[in-house]
Amino acid sequence: MWACPFGAITVREGLAVKCDLCDGDPECSKVCTPGAIKFERLKPFDLERRMRSLERRVKALTTIL
């Protein structure tokens, strides 16, 4: 990806991916000079809200298709 000059982010099958071996303490986001990588823990409430939103989208897509 152009945002990461060190190749920490790659594209596989149309999706941007990065390693996930940090166990929640990513050094890559700490040292990313351009600030392209950001790490933030989701609060349980935010996670639940996102899951509900995702479920609604999936339901809408399955109805359309």
- Please state the domain count of the chain: 1
Is the pTM of the predicted complex or chain greater than 0.75?
Answer: no
Please state the three-class secondary structure of the chain as a single string.
Answer: CCCCCCCCEEEECCEEEECCCCCCCCHHHHHCCCCCCCCCCCCHHHHHHHHHHHHHHHHHHHHHC
Residue-level pLDDT at 5? 67
- Full domain range(s) for residue 52: 9-64
Rounded to the nearest 5°, which phi and psi values hold at 40? -145, 130
- Yes or no: say if 5 and 32 are a contact pair by the CB < 8 Å rule: no
Please, which pLDDT band fits residue 1 given cuts at 50, 70 and 90?
Answer: very low
- Yes or no: say if 37 and 28 are a contact pair by the CB < 8 Å rule: yes
59 is a domain residue: yes
48 is a domain residue: yes
Residue-level pLDDT at 3? 60
21 is a domain residue: yes
pLDDT tens, position by position, 3-60 = 666 677 777 777 667 666 677 778 778 887 777 777 777 677 777 888 888 899 999 9
